[in-house]
Chain A
Amino acid sequence: QQPVQSPQAVILREGEDAVINCSSSKALYSVHWYRQKHGEAPVFLMILLKGGEQKGHEKISASFNEKKQQSSLYLTASQLSYSGTYFCGTESLGGTYKYIFGTGTRLKVLA
């Protein structure tokens, strides 16, 4: 089942923060985050495997809740280069290699 992402779209000014959420109705094995710039391939940002895990990558970080059903991506002090569509990809318990993606969140950072 496709995870639910929110919000669908967000517009920010440079320097502002944003949070993108990804929710599943069932506990997950892992959650991935990807960013896709217009006309380009999605690019891996990070993976979370453990309940309660938090992970950072420069000013972009993510968390995975204890029940492993929800993940959030945090974009701090956003830059123009953060613009794009963000997808969460989820893998069900058991590690099936079957990665199901959410519908995406379009993020636009304005100068």
Chain B
Amino acid sequence: GENVEQHPSTLSVQEGDSAVIKCTYSDSASNYFPWYKQELGKRPQLIIDIRSNVGEKKDQRIAVTLNKTAKHFSLHITETQPEDSAVYFCAASRAAGNKLTFGGGTRVLVKP
């Protein structure tokens, strides 16, 4: 089955700096890659996703890049703010809507 690895497990950045989280996947047939943000005690919420026919996608301060050849994708957060502090999960699946395999999560702390 699919295996998704996520790095780093924790990330501390100064407010205003950028944060980058990287994920690798094992199943070359995977074609849907969402990112979820989970605040303490809350539910995971989708913040951005990308499909395998696209190399990059941006939404305001958040961007995701995908390298299908290398089987890795990354989340970039620019101009970080304290409210960006949370755990971020990457995931992969073969077809949108089917079973998602999650990475282990990255705890991001934005220091004011």
* B is a partner of A: no
